[in-house]
């Protein structure tokens, strides 16, 4: 992350919500000419870029997510599972809900796998988010840096930062 114009000024540690795990590996991206800007041990590569006729930026995570965005996705996926629209019960988002909520959700997921019926959505436990989740803290900085780059002229040399 250090030294790239796009991530200049991003809070450290960088916390970006991930709604799915992707399998793009840093070594494979680097071999194809991409610059990996951010990554974590848990989620893997997050932000990466490649200069072609313009600068292309890719995100595997969601820096723009608000605090409740991942919760809404999780609840949507639970409802789809219970309705038979998806094969597997979704995993509980890691380090997103407080410990008590995670325990209640784990119990609910077990029941959902056994009973699997749409009416169970009304019995979802109360959800409490952790106080330190990623909630768009990096997005404003990343998007400001991107807009500054565009204002300087996207086809000129990249900012040397």
pLDDT tens, position by position, 22-33: 678 899 999 999
* Mean pLDDT within 35-62: 88
Would you state the pLDDT for residue 27?
Answer: 94
**161 pLDDT exceeds 50?**
no
Would you state the pLDDT for residue 159?
Answer: 53
**19 pLDDT exceeds 70?**
no
CB 50 within 8 A of CB 35: yes
Tokens for 121? 């959505």
Interatomic CA distance for residues 143 and 62, integer angstroms: 12
67-80: burial string, b at 16+ Cβ within 10 Å, e else: eebbbebbeebbbe
**1 pLDDT exceeds 50?**
no
Would you state the pLDDT for residue 44?
Answer: 83
pLDDT tier, 16 (very low <50, low <70, confident <90, very high otherwise): confident
Would you state the pLDDT for residue 104?
Answer: 97
Question: At 73, is the secondary structure helix, strand, or coil?
Answer: helix
CB half-sphere exposure, 31, CA atoms < 13 A: 5
Would you state the pLDDT for residue 84?
Answer: 97
How high is the mean pLDDT of the chain?
Answer: 87
**160 pLDDT exceeds 70?**
no
* Mean pLDDT within 121-144: 87
Interatomic CA distance for residues 64 and 139, integer angstroms: 5
| pTM for the full predicted model | 0.76
Q: What confidence tens digit (pLDDT) does each residue in 54-111 have?
A: 889 999 888 888 889 889 999 999 999 999 999 999 999 888 899 999 999 999 999 9
Tokens for 158? 């990249």
* Mean pLDDT within 152-156: 66
Interatomic CA distance for residues 18 and 41, integer angstroms: 13
């Amino acid at each position: 992350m250090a030294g790239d114009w796009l991530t200049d000024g991003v809070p450290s540690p960088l916390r970006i919500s991930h709604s799915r795990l992707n399998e793009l590996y840093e070594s494979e991206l680097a071999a194809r000419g991409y610059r990996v800007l951010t990554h974590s041990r848990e989620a893997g590569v997050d932000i990466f870029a490649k200069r072609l006729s313009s600068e292309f930026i890719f995100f595997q995570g969601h820096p723009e997510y608000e605090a409740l965005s991942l919760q809404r996705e999780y609840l949507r996926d639970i409802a789809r599972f219970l309705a038979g629209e998806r094969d597997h019960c979704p995993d509980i988002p890691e380090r997103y809900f407080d410990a008590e909520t995670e325990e209640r959700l784990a119990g609910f997921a077990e029941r959902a796998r056994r009973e699997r019926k749409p009416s169970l959505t009304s019995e979802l436990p109360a959800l409490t988010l952790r106080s330190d989740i990623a909630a768009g803290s990096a997005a404003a900085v990343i998007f400001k840096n991107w807009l500054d780059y565009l204002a300087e002229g996207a086809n000129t040399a990249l900012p040397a930062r």
